[in-house]
Amino acid sequence: MTTAGLSATFVRSTVVLILLCATSTFAAKNSKPKQQTPAPPATIQFTTSSPEAGRLTQKALDIYLDQVQQVESINLLHKALALDPEFAMGHELLAQISLDSAEQVREQAKAFADKDYASPAEREVIEWYQDASDHNLLFAITKMNDLLGQYPHDKTLVWMTTWWLMTEAQYDRAIAIYEKSGITDSPGLMNNMGYNYAYSRRFDKALAMMDKYVAALPNESNPQDSYAEISRLAGRFEQSIEHYRASLAIDPNFYSSQFGLADTYSIMGDQARARREYEAGFHKFSLPEQQDTLWRSREAATFIREGDFDWADRAFQAIADNAHAHHTSLAEADTYRQMALYQPDSTHALELLSKADAAVAAGENSNKTALQQEAAQILRARVELAVKMGNKKIAKPSLDTLAEMSNDANDTLIDLAYHGAAGAMFVSDGKYHDAIAQLEQDMNNPLSLKLLITAYQKTGDTTAAAHAVDLLSNFNDPTVEQALVVPEFRRCAQDPTCNGGVKSAASSSPVPHTL
C-alpha cells in the first residue's frame, strides 16, 4: 500500500494526497515572533511546547511511514494537537495524513497560520506544502530543493521529496534523489521507492525493493500489501493474491489488502469475484471518506469491464451523490468525469462533463492544486470526446485552454493531460508524427497508449508499435481508463476482425453482481 492510501482513480486521473514526515528531535516553543534556535544540520526539528505532543507525533510518524497504520497515526496526531494547539508542524502533518478532505483543508490553514511558532526549517516545509496546495508549484519545488540541499542524507526528508515527486509523476527524479542519498536501511523509503520503480516499469528493482521491505518488517502487514500491489502492476496476479492473503493473515483488519484482493480479481477479469470481495470489505470495515470513494469507484469500474454501462451509471451516480451531500467537490467532479469517459451517448457525456465543471467551480473542501489538476483532466476528456464526435468547435477551444494551463502551471499532471489531448487531436487530423511526439509523454495512460499504437503503425514503426502493444496489454492499474481500454484490447490484440469496441450490456449476458 502506498503511504497515501490513494492510487489509480485519484492518482493518475486527478490528483493524489501529498504526505509528510519529520525527524524526531524536539525543540521548546517560544512565543511568536521570537527567533528559534537553529536546527542541527542533520535533522529537521519539531517545535512544540509539549514534550508529550512531540512523543506522540514521532510515534505517529513511525507507524505511518514504515507500517502505513494511517488511522492510528491520525488519532495520535489529534492527541498531540490537543496538548499543543499551536504546534504548526503537527497541523501540517495532519493536513497531509488525514483521510478527510475537509480536515485536510482546515489543518493546512492552521499550519500556515501558526508557522511563526515554528523553526526556520519547519516554516520552509509548511510553506513548501502551502505553495503546493495553492498551485504555486515553482515556488514549492524551489523550497523542496532548498531543504534537500540542507539535509541531503536525512531519511525523512529524502522520503518527503521522493514521495512528493512521485505524486507529480516525476519518477526518474525521485529515483535519482534516493540513489544519491545512499540510504539503504529505511523501511519507509523501501516502500516508497518500490512504487517509484514500479511506476517507471523497472519491475525487477521494484520487486527486489519489496523483498527488502518484507525482510525489514516481517511481522507487519503493509510490506506484504505493497508487495501484492506491485506484483499486480507487474502482471504477477497469483503472487499478488498470495501477498494480500499473507497481509490479512498478519492483520485481518488491514483493510487495504481486502480491497486489494478485489482490485486484483477485477484486473484478472473475474468481476463477480471482485465485487464479492469489495462488498465483503464494505460490510466489514467502516472506511475513511477518501478510501470509501476510491474503492467504490473501483467497484463501479467492474461493470465497465463487463460492458454493463447501466449498472456502472448506477454505481458511479451513487458515489457522486454522496460526494455532493458531503461537500467534497473534488470527488464529485472526478466521478462525473469518469462517467463521461464510457458513455455511448456523446450528448450525455458532455452533460456529465458540465456537472464535473460545476463541482470544480464549487471547490468545497478541496485544495487549489487538486482542483486545477481535475479541471485539466476534464478538459482532456472534453477534447477526446469532441474528437470522437468530429466536433472541432468543441475540441479546439478546450485544447487551447488546456495548452494555456500547461504553459502557465509548471504542473506535470496538467502537462500530461495536455499531451494526451493534443495527441488525440493530431491522430484525428492524420498528423501521426506530431501525435507521437505528444503521446510519448503520456505513456502511463491507456487512452494515450492505444492512440500511440495507431500512430506508430501509420508511420511504419513496427518495433515501437510492438513495444506499445506490450505496454498496453500489460497495464494493470485498476483505473477507469484501464477498464475502458485494456480488457477489450487484450481480447482483440490477436484478432484482426475484432472491432475493438466494448460491447454494451444489451448485447452481452450480464454477470451476476451484489449491488
Distance of alpha carbon 314 from alpha carbon 54, whole angstroms: 47
Distance of alpha carbon 73 from alpha carbon 59, whole angstroms: 8
Residue whose entry in the numeric block shows the C-alpha cell 520503480: 197
**CA nearest to 11, candidates 385, 263, 387, 324:** 263
What angle, rounded to 10 degrees, do the helices at 120-133 and 101-113 form?
Answer: 140
Distance of alpha carbon 371 from alpha carbon 133, whole angstroms: 10
What are the pLDDT digits (tens) for 265-295?
999 999 999 999 999 999 999 999 999 999 9
**pTM for this one?**
0.84
Mean pLDDT of 175-203: 94
- Buried b vs exposed e over 435-468: b needs ≥16 C-beta within 10 Å? bbebbbbbbbbbbbbbbbbebbbbeebeebbeeb
pLDDT bin (cut points 50, 70, 90) of residue 500 is: very low
Instruction: Say what the pLDDT of residue 64 is.
Output: 86
Helix (H, G, I), strand (E, B) or coil at 46: strand
What are the pLDDT digits (tens) for 308-348?
999 999 999 999 999 999 999 999 999 999 999 999 999 99
Mean pLDDT of 467-475: 96
**CA nearest to 268, candidates 291, 239, 225:** 239
Instruction: Say what the pLDDT of residue 25 is.
Output: 43
Domains and CATH numbers, the chain: 1-151 (1.25.40), 338-505 (1.25.40)
Distance of alpha carbon 148 from alpha carbon 406, whole angstroms: 26
**CA nearest to 288, candidates 141, 142, 147, 97:** 97
Distance of alpha carbon 388 from alpha carbon 384, whole angstroms: 6
Give alpha helix (H) positions in 10-87. Answer: 51-65, 70-83
List all residues 6 or more positions away from 363 whose beta carbon is below 8 Å from its beta carbon. Answer: 329, 371
What are the pLDDT digits (tens) for 100-115?
889 999 999 999 999 9
What are the pLDDT digits (tens) for 340-394?
999 999 999 999 999 999 999 999 999 899 999 999 999 999 999 999 999 999 9
pLDDT at residue 507 tops 80: no
Mean pLDDT of 176-187: 91
Distance of alpha carbon 381 from alpha carbon 338, whole angstroms: 9
Instruction: Say what the pLDDT of residue 18 is.
Output: 34
Give DSSP secondary structure letters for 488-501.
HHHHHTT-TT---P
Q: For residues 69 and 467, which has the higher predicted lDDT (pLDDT)? A: 467
What are the pLDDT digits (tens) for 44-85?
888 999 999 999 999 998 888 888 888 899 999 999 999 999
Instruction: Give me 251's grid cell.
Output: 492483520
| E-state strands within 268-417 | none
Residue whose entry in the numeric block shows the C-alpha cell 507525533: 57
pLDDT bin (cut points 50, 70, 90) of residue 7 is: very low
Question: What is the rounded average pLDDT for all residues in the chain?
Answer: 89
Q: Evaluate whether 119 touches 30 at the Cβ level (below 8 Å).
A: no
Q: Evaluate whether 435 touches 427 at the Cβ level (below 8 Å).
A: yes
Distance of alpha carbon 482 from alpha carbon 133, whole angstroms: 28
